[in-house]
A = this chain, B = another copy of it.
């Protein structure tokens, strides 16, 4: 039933080593031989045994994904992207949820990396922003990619995928401006998260570009929670000069703001436009649905995994020039829905 490299070799009439060569795309194999082997592989439905491949100490075909993030939706997207890439490139993935605040987090990561003989690690925010964690991995001499909000100006010599929150925030703000708004407020997320700053910067940049002077009253500190959005909106709507639009730092905040505003009798979007950020399920679980910005998390994760695998391969083949830094830009997508759009067909809401 289960075929091994030996079976393939026999069928193809070559040695197991040659089969191995074909599998691993090494050079020095005749095209003819390659074809014969490929045919045999197909016929026997042969799958290399991962355990055996990993055993030969030198290299491994297992990646790790370490995360600490309360947002299940984000993680699942991430994970599925990484898995897709791993699958395609013949790697396995070990997933490791953890708690950044835990004392022995460093040991834990080290221990898992060792136990599973990882070839590399994919690290998502906020872990990817934690210097101690990065230092620990560096020390293990393990390859890794980080996914981080920001732009590549700031950054050192390790593979990274940058998520351009700032651009996305700019786009959203711009959209609000184009809808005719000039009194646009901003409700922020947790200050420790780099993303909050990024998004605020995008907001400011858009205002500036359109020569709208911003009011400090309109910038509200908050957290990434529903309550924070509700409170923020209540405060904003109690101002002398109310804003006509609110850009919320994520969808949860926006959902809270929307709820509070509607309860206070505001018509959305007629009297107040509200935009979120992230394209989480929350943005579709409101009435009306929220305009938001989507980062292609799945693709970002996939790209990150791809980068990592290539990096590992380069390292393996002792390439003199390992291209250590790789920049990757992802265009965020603006999802315009009913919460900001005045005219249009989408008024019939409710039935999707």
Interface residues of chain A, those whose CB is within 8 Å of chain B, are 2, 47-55, 60, 72-73, 75-77, 79-80, 83, 92-97, 111, 114-117, 226-227, 230-231, 252, 255-256, 259-260, 262-263, 281-282, 284-287, 350-352
Closest 3 pairs between A and B when the two form their complex, measured CB to CB: A51-B54, A226-B285, A72-B76
Bound complex: CA of A226 vs CA of B259, how far in Å?
Answer: 14
Q: Nearest Cβ distance between residue A297 and chain B, in whole angstroms?
A: 11
Q: Nearest Cβ distance between residue A206 and chain B, in whole angstroms?
A: 28
Residues of chain B with a CB closer than 8 A to A96's CB: 83
B50, A52: Cβ atoms under 8 Å?
A: no
Number of this chain's copies in the complex:
2
Within 8 Å by CB of A97, from B49, B51, B80, lies B80
Q: Nearest Cβ distance between residue A318 and chain B, in whole angstroms?
A: 21
Bound complex: CA of A259 vs CA of B287, how far in Å?
Answer: 8
Bound complex: CA of A299 vs CA of B93, how far in Å?
Answer: 23
A-B pairs with beta carbons under 8 Å apart, 20 shown: A47-B111, A48-B115, A49-B117, A50-B51, A50-B115, A51-B51, A51-B60, A72-B75, A72-B281, A75-B76, A76-B76, A83-B96, A83-B97, A226-B284, A227-B351, A230-B350, A259-B259, A260-B287, A282-B282, A282-B285
A227, B75: Cβ atoms under 8 Å?
A: no
A352, B227: Cβ atoms under 8 Å?
A: yes
Residues of chain B with a CB closer than 8 A to A73's CB: 72-73
The SS class assigned to the A binding surface is helix
Q: Nearest Cβ distance between residue A109 and chain B, in whole angstroms?
A: 13
Residues of chain B with a CB closer than 8 A to A95's CB: 79, 83, 93, 95
Bound complex: CA of A150 vs CA of B79, how far in Å?
Answer: 30
Residues of chain B with a CB closer than 8 A to A256's CB: 285, 287
Within 8 Å by CB of A286, from B49, B76, B117, B226, lies B226
Bound complex: CA of A259 vs CA of B226, how far in Å?
Answer: 14
Residues of chain B with a CB closer than 8 A to A226's CB: 284-287
Bound complex: CA of A287 vs CA of B230, how far in Å?
Answer: 9
Question: A80-B97, A252-B285, A286-B226 are contacts. A92–B116 as well, Cβ < 8 Å?
Answer: yes
Bound complex: CA of A50 vs CA of B9, how far in Å?
Answer: 27
Residues of chain B with a CB closer than 8 A to A231's CB: 350
Extra A-B contacts (10), CB below 8 Å, given A47-B114, A72-B77, A252-B285: A48-B115, A49-B55, A50-B117, A72-B75, A79-B95, A92-B94, A92-B116, A227-B352, A259-B287, A262-B263
Residues of chain B with a CB closer than 8 A to A284's CB: 226
A255, B285: Cβ atoms under 8 Å?
A: yes
Residues of chain B with a CB closer than 8 A to A93's CB: 94-95
Closest B residue by C-beta to A77: B72
Bound complex: CA of A227 vs CA of B93, how far in Å?
Answer: 37
Bound complex: CA of A94 vs CA of B62, how far in Å?
Answer: 11
